[in-house]
Amino acid sequence: MSAILSRTKAADDLRAFSRSLPMALLKAREAVMARFRPLLREHDVTEQQWRALRALTTVEGLRAGELARLSCISMPSLSRILKTLDKRGLIARSSEDSDQRAVNIAISDEGRRLVARIGPHSEQRYADIAEAFGARRLEALYAELDALTSCLAVDGEIPLPDED
């Protein structure tokens, strides 16, 4: 019976372990990304490269720090990613006149074409997810995720974009 008891205890602990918030978020993200990764891979861009390019299509001429915040990529990673995107001719970098430290980044025509090629497919996959899970339900999940994020945000932290 000790065997049974310990087995039961193990099962309970396991359930507790599986009920970890970071892991729940990780699994959900992984499930979502599984729908996008093949598409991005077909076009030889990584998830992060895609996020950066996508952000660059929304605002012309971003500074590195701004891009990092918008695309949720850490500066060290972004620094490497920009090097790659630059080599591939998908972006252009230029230093700012008013502040020589700053780097201005703009998407190139080729980068824009790449986004234009991938974009529609990405939107389609996104629509598939919304349909499978329920559009309304998905909106509610967004709201809860945003709430959790801002609820846990420390003062010095990056806030969510204004929801005016």
Q: What is the dihedral of CA 79, 83, 86, 90, to 10 degrees?
A: -60
Give min distance, CB of 119 to DNA, in A. 18
> Which of 28, 75, 116, 127: binder of a second copy (CB under 8 A)?
28
> Which of 101, 136, 155, 156: binder of DNA (CB under 7 A)?
101
Give the tokens for residue 64.
């590195």
User: Considering CB distances under 5 to 8 angstroms, the limit depending on partner class, which of a second copy, DNA, none binds residue 100?
Assistant: DNA
Alpha helix segments (H runs only) across 19-134:
21-42, 47-58, 64-71, 75-87, 109-133
Is the CB of residue 98 less than 8 Å from the CB of residue 8?
no
33 is an interface residue for DNA by CB under 7 A: yes
23 is an interface residue for a second copy by CB under 8 A: yes
Give min distance, CB of 33 to DNA, in A. 6
> Which of 72, 116, 127, 135: binder of a second copy (CB under 8 A)?
72
Q: For residue 50, what are the contacts with CB-CB under 8 A and spacing of at least 6?
A: 40, 118
Q: Find, among 121, 102, 146, the residue nearest to 40 by Cα.
A: 121
Contact flags string 53-72 toward DNA, x per CB under 7 A: ----------xxxx------
